[in-house]
Structure formats: structure tokens, C-alpha cells
Structure 1
Amino acid sequence: MGRTMKEDLEAVAERLKPLFPAEFAVVAAYAEGYHAHFAAQLEALAQFELCERDTYMLLLWVQNLYPNDIINSPKLAGELQGIKLGSLLPPKQIRMLEASFLSNEVTSVKELMARALELESNHWAQDVAPQRLNGRCHSELAIDIMQIISQGQAKAESITLDLGMQIKQVLLAVLAAFLRSYQGAFDEFLERCTQLGNYRANVMANINNCLSFRTSVEQKWQTSQDILGPLRELKSHGFDTLLHGLFSKLKPLFKRLTQTRWAASVQTLEEIVSIMEKSLPEFSELHDCFQEELMELVHVYLVKEYIVQLSKRQVVLKTAEQQQQLARQVLANANLIEHFCTQNGSRATWLHQALPTLAEIIRLQDPSAIKIEVATYATCYPDFSKGHLSSILAIKGNLSSSEVKSIRSILDISTRTQEPFKSLFSLIKVG
């Protein structure tokens, strides 16, 4: 019908208009007649209970195809410029149809996303191996979900750009709800399917998924809303799962540090690093950015566990020479940890002073100099507390209680940053 109208009006403009006097406004007469006929037809159609497809097509016709492809088509735009044909449907009717379209489209998007997640989580539970893409564990879930979202928005934009903006805000909320569901399904998989052969590969595939989601949201949606929180949780739980067994294996080795009174700490740490190094190739199936994040977690763990052992109050050294010897051992161990972690991709430069400064506190003998180191340390690690400090100072058996009290008091002075900081000492419990 639309094509017929367009061809008829073009024929009127090209062939009939020259045959009539200008005051007859023959093109306007035909256009107004067609318009009135279409408006009556569409208003009658709009009274029916329309299915999703019909609602969409009716809006597409009224809001886009008719005004743009017919009224403003190249051959007719000039002819119809002065004619105020108006809309084919009243504004109230259009608003009702748009509300119905938005509701239908959002429901459809939710159903498609739920189906995609169900299919994906069934694959995990059935121990289906993830795809490999460029040597990385890969899942199509993020691509499928973002495609469903994009198609929903594109459909709305094909009607009007304003409707596209309206549905964008709704779809962002739908995506946020989906990501929470995704995280829940992944957590359930982590808990229930530990014995499956492809368990760890599927964990890595889902961690890799986070990059696809994040890239799509940041590039396409450019939203200030933080809808990626569930993905951060998913990634964190995935990393914890991948590293749990390895860290459990290293725990007894760290305990050996205090059992040997630090005499062979470098050898013990070399053994720890060797075990860790042998485990790293498995993680090559993560994207590079996630390998770096995982290595930062390893870096934090090694530094944290070392400090835990140092803080156990099992070593009390009464002479400056003994303290300096321990400080040298701590510094050597710090260098070993830092070299291993940075060589394997850790970018946790914020950890570089964690152990060397503690070594310096152990080495120094002048309480005033120790105070300066402690004050500086507290600015670098705002979660370094008096309890942590006391555990380190307990090593220095030649400090009087008044000197310890004086050094501890430096933490009463507020040198703490208000900026967000990464936790280190809040992960370490002291008695």
C-alpha cells in the first residue's frame, strides 16, 4: 500500500500536475486524500489487540517509513513541503503503541537472555569443554547476550531515535539483572561441579567472558551506571577457585619459615616459588589482562603469608646484629618474591615496599628513625595497624616498653590517605 501511494503521488507530480492550473494544487489534493484514507485504515487497525510483530510494524510505518520514505522521499519532498499532513495516528494512540512495544520487546529480550544462560549453564553442568579461541578458553555467551541487547535497541531506533533512547535505559536495567543471574548461576556451578573434568577450563572461559561484556558495555553503552559489579564478583570467585588448591599446598611451606626460625628462609621461599612456577602454564588460557590480575593475587598472597609468619611473635632477637641478619634475610626474600611476580606479569608495584620497609624497621636501632619509617609505611599501607606494628616490634627484643609505646603512638597521627587503597594488612589477623 505504501509503495502504491508513493508511485501514485510521483505519477501525479510528474504527469498530472502539468495538466492542471497551479491553483488546483493537484498534488496536495491527492496527498491529503491518500493520507486521510491511510489514517482511517490505521486507526481502525490500532483498535485491535495487536501481536508484537503487528505493533512493531504499525509503529515503524507511522513513525518512520511513511514520513521518511514516502512524504520526504526525493521526488515528493519538494512537492509536499507546504502541506501539513500531520501524523497518521493521534499522539495518544502512538504513546500507547510505543508503551506496548517497549513492554513486548523487553519481555522478549529477557526470555532470549534467560534461554542463552540456561543453555550455557547446562553445558557447564554436562562437562562440555569450552571452545578454544587463539589458545584461550572461550564462550559465546557474552557475544550472544550483547547481540540480543543490541538488536532490541536497534529495533526501537528503527522506529524513532527517541524510542531508541527510551529502551536503552530499560535495557541497561535488564542487562544489570541478567549479570546478577549470570553470577548466581556461575556460583552454583563453582559449588556443585568441582569434580568435573572441564571444571577449571569452564571457570577460565567465564572469567574471559568478563572482558567481552566489559568491552561491549564500555564501548557501546558508555554509561555512568555501574552495572558490572556482578562481573567483578564472578571474576573474583573464579580466581579464588583457580588458586585455592595451589595456595593450600603452599600453606605448610610458609609455616616452615617460623619452625626453622628463619635460618633457611631463602631455600623455603625458592621451593614455594618453584611450585608456583610449575602451576602457571595452566593459566595461559586466560586473556593476558586476567593473567596479570591473577599474578597480582599471587603476589599479594606471597607477601601476605610472609608477613603473617613474620608477625607470629615466635622470633625475639635481642641484639642489633641478629636483627640486621634477619633484616637481610627478609630483604633477600622480598627481592625473590618481587622478581618472580613481576617476571610473570604482576603489575602490583604498590606491594614493592611492603617487605623491604619491614626489613628496615627490623634493622634500625634508633627509635626516632623507626618512627619515620613507620609513619611513611602507614601512608603507603593505610590498613597497617598498631596490632601489626606491635607484632613486628616484638621481634626487636632490645626495645623497652616505653620505646615501643612511643613508636606505636606515631600511628595516632592521621597520615592516612582518603583515597581508595588496596588491602594488604586488613587480610592479616594479629593476636
Structure 2
Amino acid sequence: MTFFQGLPGQQPVPGTLDLPRSPQKLPSTSEAESEASSEDLVPSLEAEVARDRKEEKLSKKKKPKGLANMFSVFTKGKKKKGQSGSTEPQGEPEPRPGLDGPLPTVEELKAALERGRLEAARPLLALERELQAAAAAGGAGEEELVRRQSKVEALYALLRDQALGVLRRPLEVAPERLHQALAVVAEQEREDRQAEAEPGTSALAATRPRRWLQLWRRGVAQAAEERMGRRPAEGAEGRSEAESVFLHMGRTMKEDLEAVVERLKPLFPPEFGVVATYAQSYHEYFAAQLAAMAQFELCERDTYMLLVWVQNLYPNDVINSPKLAAELQGVGLGSLLPPKQIRLLEASFLSNEAANVKELMARALELESQHWAQDVAPQRLDGHCHSELAIDILQIISQAQAKAESITPDLGAQIKQVLLVELAALLRSYQRTFDEFLERCKKLRHYRANVIANINNCLSFRTSMEQKWQVPQDRLSLLLGPLSELKRHGFDALLQSLFADLKPLFKKFTQTYWATPAETLEKIIATVGGRLPEFSELQDCFREELMESVHLHLVKEYIIRLSKRCLVLKTAEQQQQLARHILANADVIQHFCTQNGSAATWLHPALPTLAEIIRLQDPSAIKIEVATYATCYPDFSKGHLSAILAIKGNLSTSEVRSIRSILDVNTEVQEPCRSLFSLIKVG
């Protein structure tokens, strides 16, 4: 789309920079200008010609000879009909310029200006200076001076309208005419500065400074308002009226300023600051519209729109766009809204987003829990039970994060903390809802599949928080806490029936007085192996964790059977034989669990060390073994030790007391203690 007209006389394209076609009368800078209209030139101009020429002859005696010759531009220097006027030089004029030729009359100057002949500016300036000289000399009466000044000011009003009218539509005129208009305004600015530097004391009314450059800037502001204030074309479906208006203003400002940089800057003198003038005018209008909108109570959508324009689109896509960044760097346009207003909008945005995220996540959890209660089977993905809940929750969080970052990175960092708080609350609610499902829905057909799907959800949550969100460790533990509980409770639900089946098998150890421990353990392992396929739809990492739970259960139940105090062996041979059985069983348990994915290597010494305590006969050697064992398992208490030592029927009470005392020594543990013996109650 073309945004400026390139050739004079072409019709404007809809959406172009609206610089008015017809010259418009601009506001005058003084009361004298407003009162001195072109009507002052009409009455009795012919009758006054003779008097004017008589006055000119008299003035020649006082003025330099070259002054009258300036007016020859209308006779000697005339162009043929239809030929454009030439551009006047833009250099600093002489204080008293001189041109050969007869002096034009006031009527001739008026006619030339009405035809748009900007060349009349120089003769008009000479006429103004002549009038000032006559007033300073005191040769004419006050009434006569006022009459002549009104004519000069009326001519200046015509010149002003012609020159500024050209500048209001700078790309719809020929370049040489634009240069003429620019030269006229620049010359008037120089005269204004000279008049301010050398204030006159004549009887004439003060008419300078005329400030035509300031009037041009006002015209630019009016043109910017007209362009930016146009009703935008029909926007995309779903876009609000406010969004369409702001998009229109942003696009108009960017494309118009690019045209100013490319096409007007090379033509305008530097003192006009054409790029800065247009940029400030567009910026001020844009800022005024935003400030007006910000005074109202905004909906969430409009709050976001204001922020994204003020903080992102305007500074990045408009002001710092490739074609404008260098040109606008020194203009100092600033922000569209003051910092205080921006902070208020940001606070409102964060509050709105937190409420939306909370509501959306709660709705997602409610829908998911309804599926569990209605016994809807979960999806299968790559052979695993799958739930969309984690994906939905993380997408809600990510969208809110991206929305804030689309405004500023700093706001994205602020909302991250808000979102983590809401996510932590959601995960706690998720755990409570899942626990209720575990208690109430055990008899449903797809109960176990939904349990597995929710355990698998923990992986998506954990991976996203650890990798994508890069949550700090202290905050991460708070977030993962509910997930760890959910997973643990899920494992308990999945393993409950298996552990119930294993309980009578473990009782056989004590029921048979450890007569056939190998056969009993073989049945236990077979039972576990037959149930493992039930867990195949868990994610691999969780299947391994579940196998660690099985591993822990097997070791724990085995130790419980050893601690029942129902077996007392009084000879070293009997104790050594039991120790061999325990070592063999420990090897079977370790091999089976490791082969099926358990990584619980910390359990490996639990049974073999107990076997060694049972095998040893020297109390001192037993003490060393107990001390080592307490280092590995800090929750190994005197009660547990007493239960194991009860198997050794050949130890005296004093020896038992001495061995137990070794646990009075404080053993420092560097790593966090994992529970084993704290799960075992001894009588």
C-alpha cells in the first residue's frame, strides 16, 4: 500500500498520509495578522497607484538605489506562460537585496501571491523593510504608516497560506516548489531571529516574530491527528474495536515515518527537524489516546493490549524498527504511558492472569477426576497408561508465562513466581483428589489403569519443572513433595494385593522354624514374578522405583521373620547353618530384584551382615560387625539387635549387654538415612 503520493496532481490512495489538498488558513501569530486580510488590498488600489509611486520616488532619495530594482522579478524576470517558477537561493539574504527592474505595485504582489507565485516573498520582504525605514525616519504620518502596514500584513497572510499550504502536502507538489516554500519559511525564521535580536522602536505595530516554523509544526500535528484518527478498516475476525484502532495507529505511524525518512528528510533543511517533528506529533497523539483509555476501568483483554503496545510493540516494532531506529535515536520520544501508570497496569495484569490460571487448572483437574469416578479407561501412549492432565496444566502455565514475556522479559520473570505459587497449590489439590479416588473407587474396573496413569503424570510435571522451568532447588522440593506423596500412595495401591499374597508365605519361615527356607523363598519369588506384568504400563523409571519398593518389602519381611524370637540356636554349628541359609536367600532376593530393575543397592548388605552377626562367636568380632551395620543403617536400634541376638542361645546376658552397648556410640551419618528398620516393629 502506498502511504504518500509521489507525483503532483495524483489522487490520494485510501490510507495515505492525509496532508490537505487545498491551502488552509492557519492561525495567525499576532492580532495584526488576524485583522489584516486580503480585503485591505481591494479598495481604490488604482487610485492609490499614483500616490504610491510618488512616495517611492521620495523614498529613493533615502534608500539605496538597488532597492527598487528588486521588483523586476515580475517584469524582466518573468517566465513564459505555463512554465514553473524557479527556486530562490536558500542562502542568507543580503540585508538590502537588489534586483534590476521597476518596482511592482501592491496590487501586482497580491495578484502574484494569489496565483501561488512564491517568488513574491523577496519583494514583499523588501516592501516590509522599506516601511520600517520610513517609520524610523519619521517622514510619514502615523495613519499613513498603519494603512501601509495593513497592506503588507495582508500580503504576508497570503504568502503564509501559500507557503504553509505547500508544506502541509509536501509530497504532492513538485520538488522545486517544495524547495521554494521551504526557503520562504526559512527566510522568515531568519527575519524573526534578527527582529528579536534588534527590537525596533518605531511607531509600527509589532508583527514579528511570525513563527511560521512553529505554525508548520502545528500543521504537522494536525495532519498526524487526521491520519491516526481515521476509522480503521475492518479488522480480522475476533479482534476487538480497541485492538483494531491501536493496530491501525501503530501501522500508520510506522509506515508514515518511514516515508518521511526516505522521501522528506532529503528535501527539508536540517533546521526543520522534519523527522523529529513528524515523530513527536504522531507519538503525542498515540500517547494521548492511550492515556485516555487508561483512565477507564479496563477489561483483561484491553489491559494486556495496552501493556503489549506500550512495553513491546511500540518501542520494538515501531520506534526501533530497522528503518527508523537510527533516525529516532536522538529524538527522545519516551514511553507512551508514565511509569506509575504502567506499574498499575502490570499489577492488574498479574492479578488477572493468576486468577485465570487458577480457574483453568482447577477446571482441568475437576474434569480429570470426573473421568476417574466414571470409570473411564485412560489413554495408552507407547504402551503406557497416559493422562492429559499434566499436559493441560503445563500448557496453561506456559501460555500465561509466554503472555507475560510478550510484554517484557521482566514481567515474565515476575509472573513466574506467581505461577509457581498457583502450581504448588494445584499439585496439593491434585494429591488430595487422588487420595480420595484411591479410597473410594477401588472396585472400579479401570481403577489400576487410572492409578498407573496418574503415577506416570508425575514424570511430565517433574521433567518440566527441572528442565524447562529451571525451578530453584528450595522451591522445587515444595513442588515435588505432593507428587512424591501421590506416587507413593499410588505404589501402595498397586502393591497392596501383592503384599497381601506374600504375607502367608513369609509366615512359613517361622512356622517351619526355618527348616526349608530355600523352598519358601522360591514360592515368594515366583509369586512376585507372576505379578510383575501388571506394572508394565508404568513409565520405565517408575517401574524401576516400584521394583525398589518390592525389593525393600522382601528384605523388610525377611528381617521381621528373623526378629520374631521364635528360633533359639544354642550351638555354633546351628547358627552357622542358618547364616548360610540367610546368605543364600539374600543372594536370590538381590539377583531377582536387580534383574527386574531395582537400583536399591543400599539394601544389599542388610541380610548378609545379619547372617554374619549370627555366624560369629567372638563377642568382640560381633561388636565390630554391629558397629559397621549401624553405620549403614542408622535406624538399627538396640531392640532390633536384641531380637537378632536372641537367636544366639549361647551368649550370656553380660555378653549381650556388652554387644548392645556398642550402639550407644554416636555414629555420624553423612547421607540422609533411608528407612529400613524404622519400618520394622519388634516386641
Matched, 1:174 2:426: no
Code of the residue aligned with 2:403 in structure 1: it is K
Shift of 1:20: 1.0
What is the rounded CA distance, in whole Å, between the counterparts of 1:400 and 1:306 in structure 2? 26
Residue pair 1:204, 1:285 contacting (<8 A) in 2 also: yes
Matched, 1:165 2:433: no
Shift of 1:143: 1.0
The CA deviation string for residues 285-329 of structure 1, in whole angstroms up to 9 with x for no partner, is 001111110011001100000100100100001111111111111
Residue pair 1:109, 1:148 contacting (<8 A) in 2 also: yes
Code of the residue aligned with 2:617 in structure 1: it is Q
Match of 1:331 among 583, 589, 594: 583
State the match for 1:303 in structure 2.
555
Structure 1 spans left out of the alignment, 5+ residues: none
> Where does 1:40-119 land on structure 2 (aligned, <5 Å)?
40-119=288-367
Matched, 1:279 2:531: yes
Match of 1:383 among 608, 622, 635: 635
Tell which deviates more after alignment, 265-274 or 413-422: 413-422
State the match for 1:255 in structure 2.
507
Code of the residue aligned with 2:664 in structure 1: it is D
Identity of aligned residues (%): 79
Shift of 1:419: 2.5
The CA deviation string for residues 50-78 of structure 1, in whole angstroms up to 9 with x for no partner, is 11111000100011101110000011111
Shift of 1:221: 1.4
Match of 1:217 among 452, 455, 465: 465
State the match for 1:395 in structure 2.
647
Shift of 1:265: 1.2
SS in 1 for 2:536: helix
State the match for 2:495 in structure 1.
243
Matched, 1:122 2:370: yes
What is the rounded CA distance, in whole Å, between the counterparts of 1:427 and 1:277 in structure 2? 24
State the match for 1:314 in structure 2.
566
Code of the residue aligned with 2:588 in structure 1: it is L
What is the rounded CA distance, in whole Å, between the counterparts of 2:262 and 2:668 in structure 1? 81
What is the rounded CA distance, in whole Å, between the counterparts of 1:72 and 1:343 in structure 2? 62
What is the rounded CA distance, in whole Å, between the counterparts of 1:247 and 1:38 in structure 2? 72
Code of the residue aligned with 1:364 in structure 2: it is L
> Where does 1:189-228 land on structure 2 (aligned, <5 Å)?
189-224=437-472, 225=475, 226=477, 227-228=479-480
State the match for 1:361 in structure 2.
613
Aligned residues: 431
Residue pair 1:265, 1:329 contacting (<8 A) in 2 also: yes
Shift of 1:418: 4.2
Whichever of the two has the greater Rg, that structure is 2
What is the rounded CA distance, in whole Å, between the counterparts of 1:416 and 1:132 in structure 2? 48
SS in 2 for 1:132: strand
What is the rounded CA distance, in whole Å, between the counterparts of 2:422 and 2:636 in structure 1? 41
The CA deviation string for residues 119-165 of structure 1, in whole angstroms up to 9 with x for no partner, is 11111111111111110111111111111101101000000010000
What is the rounded CA distance, in whole Å, between the counterparts of 2:621 and 2:637 in structure 1? 19
Residue pair 1:378, 1:416 contacting (<8 A) in 2 also: no
- Could you list the runs of 4 or more consecutive aligned residues of structure 1 that deviate by over 6 angstroms after TM superposition? none
What is the rounded CA distance, in whole Å, between the counterparts of 1:4 and 1:233 in structure 2? 57
Code of the residue aligned with 2:613 in structure 1: it is I
SS in 2 for 1:228: helix
Code of the residue aligned with 1:422 in structure 2: it is R
SS in 1 for 2:406: helix
Shift of 1:222: 1.1
State the match for 1:7 in structure 2.
255
Shift of 1:430: 0.7
TM-score of the superposed pair, with normalisation by structure 2? 0.63
What is the rounded CA distance, in whole Å, between the counterparts of 2:671 and 2:590 in structure 1? 25
The CA deviation string for residues 85-134 of structure 1, in whole angstroms up to 9 with x for no partner, is 11111111111110111111111111111111111111111111111111
What is the rounded CA distance, in whole Å, between the counterparts of 2:624 and 2:339 in structure 1? 73
> 1 or 2 for the larger relative contact order (CA 8 Å, sep ≥6)?
1
Code of the residue aligned with 1:30 in structure 2: it is Y
What is the rounded CA distance, in whole Å, between the counterparts of 1:75 and 1:338 in structure 2? 71
Code of the residue aligned with 2:498 in structure 1: it is L
SS in 2 for 1:137: strand
SS in 1 for 2:278: helix
Residue pair 1:324, 1:363 contacting (<8 A) in 2 also: yes
Give the structure with the larger helix fraction. 1
TM-score of the superposed pair, with normalisation by structure 1? 0.99
Code of the residue aligned with 2:272 in structure 1: it is F
Shift of 1:171: 0.5
Code of the residue aligned with 2:681 in structure 1: it is K
SS in 2 for 1:159: coil
Structure 2 spans left out of the alignment, 5+ residues: 1-248
Shift of 1:249: 1.1
Code of the residue aligned with 1:76 in structure 2: it is L
State the match for 2:436 in structure 1.
188
The two structures, once aligned, show a CA RMSD in angstroms of 0.8
Shift of 1:416: 3.7
Residue pair 1:379, 1:416 contacting (<8 A) in 2 also: yes
Residue pair 1:203, 1:238 contacting (<8 A) in 2 also: yes
Residue pair 1:382, 1:421 contacting (<8 A) in 2 also: yes
What is the rounded CA distance, in whole Å, between the counterparts of 2:480 and 2:614 in structure 1? 43
